[in-house]
A and B are shown apart, each in its own frame.
Chain A
Amino acid sequence: MTKGRGVKIDDDSQAAGRGIRQSMSSLHTWAALLLGWILYAMFLTGTVSYFKDELSQWMRPELSRLSEIPDQAVVAQRIANELGNTVPGTTQWSIRLPDARNNSAYVFWRTSARNPGQRAFGEGNFDPATGQKVASRDTLGGEFFFRFHFQFHYMPVVWGRWLAGAAAMFMLVAIISGVITHKRIFVDFFTFRWGKRQRSWLDAHNALSVFGLPFHFMITYTGLVTLMALYMPWGENVAFKTPAERQQLTAELSAFIPVGKATGQKVPLASVEDMVRQAQERWGRDNVARVNAVLPGDAAARVAVTRGEAGRVSMSPQYMEFEGATGKLLAVRDHVGPAAETRGVFYALHLGRFSDAVTRWLYFLVSFTGTAMVGTGLVMWTVKRRKNLPEPDRPYFGFRLVERLNIASIAGLSVAMTAFLWGNRLLPPPLEGRADLEINLFFFVWALTLLHALVRPARSAWVEQLWMASVLLFLLPVLNALTTQRPLWHSLVEGDWIFVVMDLMCWTLALLHAVLAMRTARQRAGAPSRRKANRQAPITVASSERAG
């Protein structure tokens, strides 16, 4: 009797086990598929953003590289003077000082908003040697991919961030459901069988997901954390009613001193150089990140000098606060509460700005794996479903939609990103508004790839776009040699590693795209015969997948 009941319970739990794995499998597919194209774009632009500073340098070839990091104290003073001359009435400015990866200083300052809803600040890159705005082509540089990554473009910044957050939530659910559905994920690791074509997409997807699993989960969760104040403002709204109270929270998160009331009494800013020197003594000669000034030129001015990113895995604020008019040190803030520190660590883990060169490459490579994970997942959906199409030549609308979007979002994105770099080299440097033109070119080319994907047969579209990306990437170093003073041989001789590695990466990625193009073309040639054999295969595949 008990044996009978025992068996029944086993069956029930097994059935329940199969049930949950089935439901999680469906959840995984839908969560990943619905916003998969956005996720792919976020992943790829995010991956590239780990080298955004280097990319920015490459995109401003007129600015020679810094053979050594200039004294940050001196640079800060130069730029502070320049700002005092050019924007004397501003209530707030912020300088991100040059460092090992940035040969210019990025500065922004408050301006009076000309129209309501317009951004009320000016920004620019400044030459550390002269303290003045850089004399180089107007471009957003690597910042474009970085900003696109979390707020896209052509839409209000807040909408873009909400979209990115939604995509990240879908990703988080996809990861968790993916792990539940593939319970034996770590045991099965290493026992992969590469052979049967129909499984290989699934296995590639599984493999890419597994070795990067700690990273993928971390990057998704920390990504949500970076914008958590936007996504979950409720606690803050309930707890803090007055701006002063809100300031309590802000102080735990950043080094921006709130703009107080101006006294109207004009007092020139004290020596910024001295302030930065004190910071250098505390944190290291090259380890000062920013100088922020509030009400510069007023008696109530305040200056915050923040610590650099090296050596600590946290973005929680550490800064020295000075009285702007006298230069007197008011406070050293280098400690925040535990929840704030946790958030600081999560933020740092996402951006990876603390990394040394090797660690940055590790971030890049594992993030690239994540990109491939999303890509293989999207492609796998069509591969799996193509076998089961009742009419292979006229698939249903959903299938056609996914198939075409895949091509443009994956292969097309490579083409568009490379076109962006081509635009940077081809658009004449003195051209008015060229920064926006570069960006518009990116989207224009991307739209063209979508058109191409809709018009051509699917396989041809894949192959042609992959080849297009490959050719554009391959020729980019050639274009660089023709249009700038920094061709590869010059960079090798000078030890200009950013330019050398950029050229080499272009060729490596060109090779990657060529290989993908060739393999896709070969698969397409072999497809018809395999399709007949696969008619019998779906059942075995389905059962082996469920077993796996």
Chain B
Amino acid sequence: MNAVLHRVRSTGPLISRIIAALFGGYALAALSSVAVLALPLSKPQAVLTGMLASFLIYAGAVIWVFAVRSALKAWAGLIIVAVALLPLAWSVS
């Protein structure tokens, strides 16, 4: 039992980061591609800008997740940015 617990404790944070990077990163990029619609641009230009920038945001999120000291910090960073973007995204949908 202890061995299992130990396993979970040692790989848990890593798995958490992987999930944060793969899915959290994508979600953040998607969210930002919607939030960008709040900018004072014509709709087609805003949509395209959102798409163009999204991959940089995704990559940036992944780098962040693995660069910070703890998995908790990784998630915190993603969530903070998401929370900031959420009202913008809400306002346009």
Contact = CB atoms under 8 A, between A and B. Distances in A.
Asked if A and B form a direct contact in the complex, defined as CB atoms under 8 angstroms apart, the reply is yes
Interface stretch (A116-124, A172-180, A204-212, A462-470): A172-180
Given A228-B51, A249-B43, A252-B44, 20 more contacts: A23-B67, A172-B59, A180-B67, A225-B51, A225-B55, A228-B54, A228-B55, A235-B34, A235-B47, A238-B89, A238-B92, A240-B47, A252-B45, A337-B45, A338-B45, A339-B45, A339-B46, A339-B52, A343-B51, A343-B52
A19 B67 CA distance: 8
A177 B62 CA distance: 10
Nearest to A26: B66
Interface in A213-269: 221, 224-225, 228-229, 231-232, 234-236, 238-240, 245, 248-249, 252
A177 B66 CA distance: 10
B52 A337 contact: no
A180 B63 contact: yes
Interface string B13-54: 000000000000000011001101100011111111111101
B75 interface: no
Nearest to A236: B47
A202 interface: no
B10 interface: no
A26 B21 CA distance: 14
B44 A176 contact: no
A24 B68 CA distance: 10
Interface of A: 19-20, 23-24, 26-27, 169, 172-173, 176-177, 180, 221, 224-225, 228-229, 231-232, 234-236, 238-240, 245, 248-249, 252, 337-340, 342-343, 346
B66 A238 contact: no
Q: Which of A27, A245, A249, A339: most chain B Cβ within 10 A?
A: A339
A58 B37 CA distance: 48
Nearest to B48: A339
Contacts of B66: 23-24, 26-27, 177
B7 interface: no
Contacts of A229: 51
Ranked 3 nearest A-B pairs via Cβ: A339-B48, A235-B50, A339-B45
B49 A339 contact: yes
A392 B48 CA distance: 53
A232 B67 contact: no
A467 B55 CA distance: 40
B11 interface: no
B26 to A, nearest CB: 9
Interface residues of B, number: 31
Contact of A173 (B42, B63, B92): B63
A238 B34 contact: yes
B50 A224 contact: no
A340 B45 contact: yes
B2 interface: no
B22 to A, nearest CB: 9
Nearest to B62: A173
B64 to A, nearest CB: 11
Contacts of B58: 169
User: Which among B33, B36, B69 has the greatest number of chain A C-beta atoms within 10 A?
Assistant: B33
A240 B34 CA distance: 12
Given A24-B67, A173-B62, A177-B63, A239 B47 contact: yes
A19 B66 CA distance: 10
A232 B45 contact: no
Contacts of A176: 59, 63
B44 A249 contact: yes
A338 B66 CA distance: 34
B34 A228 contact: no
Nearest to A338: B45
A252 B48 contact: yes
Given A24-B66, A27-B66, A229-B51, A235 B45 contact: no
Given A173-B59, A249-B44, A338-B45, A239 B30 contact: no
